[in-house]
Amino acid sequence: MVTARAEPGAGAIDGRVERLLGQMTLAEKIGQLTLVHVEPGELPGDLRAAVRAGKAGAVLDVVDVATVNELQRIAAHDSRLGIPLLVGRDVIHGFKTVLPIPLGQAAAWNPDLVQQGARMAALEAAASGVNWTFAPMIDIARDPRWGRIAESFGEDSHLAAVLGAAAIRGFQGDGLSRPGAIAACAKHFVGYGASEGGRDYGYVGIPEVDLRNVHMPPFRAAADAGVATFMAAFSDVNGVPASANPFLLRTVLRGEWKFPGFVVSDWDSIVDMVVHGLVANDEEAALAALSAGVDMEMVSTTYRDHLPGLLAAKRIDPRLLDNAVRNVLRVKLQLGLFERTATDPAAYPGVASAANLALARELATQSLVLLQNRNGVLPLAPQRLHSLAVIGPLADDAYEQLGTWAPDGDPALSRTPLQAIRETVGARVTVRHVRAMATTRTVTTAGFTEAVAAASGADASVLFLGEESILSGESHSRASIDLPGNQLDLVRAVKRAGKPVIVVILAGRPLTIEPILAHADAVLYAWHPGVMAGPAIADILFGVESPSGKLPVTFPRVVGQVPLYYAHRSTGKPASQASFLHIDDIAARTPQAGLKNASQYLDAGYAPLYEFGYGLSYTSFTYADIAVAPTRARVGVPISVRAVVRNVGQVAGDEVAQLYVRDLVGSVTRPVRELKGFQRIHLEPGESREVAFQLSADDLAFYGRDLTRAVEPGSFHVWIGGSSSADLRADFELTAD
């Protein structure tokens, strides 16, 4: 079993760092800043030689434990100073036991489960020798065209901060030196989720006030949670790529936040600065990156190739190099790598154990969001069914349900929806499966005839649609986020059979699904739910569990509404139902002044298809009796907000109670609402419970016109409810004295 040991003190670690640093040659120092990518297969001789010479401080993508142990043996016993290696891997949402994609995990609104999932993944990865993961990704993602929204915790700073900190606690455990802990990496610092047009690697133009109020808070929370490493973003941020941006890496991260760990570049992002046009060549890129505060270079070799010459020419202060090495060595010592140079897989819990699969099932179940349920068609009652049609390209695809960034996932561990449905209903219900489309992108209708025949002969049809895993993730942005291929026509065709139609969507992003709503009696959004997708979905479909997921991101009606998010500014002419007149209802030759001026689209309005925080259940919840105390207080006095939640339905269920605040007047304009707290609660039928939140000065502070963070006196609205459109409101006022 994995055994614990005492956490080393900071003073002892710093002493060891200085002793090592004092013995190191220039080549060995630069080696500690070098992260080498290793292709699968036999270890190349040049890598063995580099590790032996101390010229490689970390390796990437080695997951064979025997290979890792051999590399660590060379580093610990054959190199001059015996400094072990960091072994990095993208452990994004599970390792062998693949969990829902992070966006799906965010839909569970359950920090405890996110932490447990990260802990499980850390233990599985550590058994392979991995000691560093490039997660969590806590970029604020407000553009569903961006493929990497799948890796995010959604559009909201507070939710991303809470879940990101939970993931860090899971990866790093009770202390980095404890066996099974792996170093986490907060990425991508900062603003990457705001890439222009949702195009990966694109330019990011964000005013500093928005950088600080919207994009930085999750990273500040990560630093406060003790994250070991940060990763600089690929992006050009306001004209300076993040890997050469001293404002981000030195002024904010080191100066304001006192971050003690190390910063790694993203893949080739240092040499990419030449392509950006910031520098003329790789030598200048190395100078810019180290000067800005990038401690370790991922994959590219500008540090190795050019730092010696830059130092000799006195273009770099040697203290910059030494500080970078200190930062890396400190993390290695905190991880206890010097005392644990070999990994024994038998010392760790089993991969894909019953407990791990149970956790994956629970997290997947809570991540599912019921978007539509006309006439209570769900849950299905197996005892009342004679036959069921299961249709679509994602009903029985063990690979696609794993989602993006699951490099170590094993589809053999997946239990598909078709398998789980058959297990649930048993032999007494005839289940007819028709794939209908070869992939989600198929544009022919060749399989529709069989699908319609199956639907016509069944009591109900369940369609498994969405997008394959390859359609989301890094470098997989989409200009159209409609259901790809001929899926809409498939839904229409099946609906014509005249039987109830349930649509389950597996995807890596919000899709523009409004066209299918008229043809679907129920819609369940499943994201990419991981290895236990099947049992989780079956539990919801058949009422074993009541759906409780809530959207962590706004769903647009059409892609032209993007970016669309709940925490927007009011504008001087905010839209409302009263101001909207659809383009089709405008009379010919209406004068220009004949419409009400408002911030909206003539053809799509102003409202989303589904708002942030939305999600249905098989029961109903009401909110009442909101109370604020005190209603008038000095700045800095905590504000208590309470309300009563009641389950007024016939079945038990979980509800996510959400607290939103609006600061009505500020030195800079403030969002119309901001999430400040949430609680997941379980209520039996007829049961009620008071939920209580406390707003601290920190919750109400923001960066104002002078770019200092403070709470400003004034009037506030506060809401408690089941989504960002909650209407149960109270008010309070903060005074300066």
**Which DSSP string do the residues of 403-468 spell out, in sequence order?**
-SS-TT--GGG---HHHHHHHHH-TTSEEEEE--SSSTT----TTHHHHHHHHHTSSEEEEEEE--
**Spatial CA neighbour of 500 closest among 394, 384, 342:** 384
Say how many C-beta atoms besides its own lie within 10 A of residue 21's C-beta: 16
Cα separation, 530 vs 542, whole angstroms = 20
Say how many C-beta atoms besides its own lie within 10 A of residue 465's C-beta: 29
CA 700, 704, 709: angle at the middle one, nearest 5? 55
Give the position of tokens 């109670």: 657
End-to-end CA distance of the chain: 58
Whole-Å CA distances, 69 to 76, 126, 469: 10, 12, 32
Give the position of tokens 């920090």: 111
Cα separation, 317 vs 304, whole angstroms = 16
Cα separation, 397 vs 150, whole angstroms = 19
Q: At what angle do helices 282-292 and 302-312 cross, to 10 degrees?
A: 80
Give the three-class secondary structure for 729: strand
Whole-Å CA distances, 709 to 373, 514, 570: 44, 41, 21
Say how many C-beta atoms besides its own lie within 10 A of residue 636's C-beta: 11
Cα separation, 651 vs 671, whole angstroms = 36
Q: Which amino acid is at 64?
A: D
- The DSSP call for residue 18 is H
112 assigned to active site: no
Say which of 236, 266, 408, 521 is annotated catalytic.
266
Task: Give the strands of the sheet with 653-663, arranged side by side.
Answer: 632-634, 729-735, 714-721, 653-663, 674-683
Residue 541 contacts residue 390 (beta carbons within 8 Å): no
Give the position of tokens 């199956």: 454
Residue 338 contacts residue 332 (beta carbons within 8 Å): yes
SS percent in the chain: helix, strand, coil, step 5: 35, 20, 45
Bridge-based pairing of strands 709-710 and 714-721 is unpaired
Is-cis flag, bond preceding 37, omega within 30? no
Burial of 641 (0-12, 13-18, 19+ CB in 10 A): buried
Structure-token pair, residue 611: 């708002």
Whole-Å CA distances, 248 to 211, 255, 259, 404: 10, 10, 12, 29
Q: What is the largest CA-CA distance in the chain?
A: 84
Catalytic residue numbers read 266
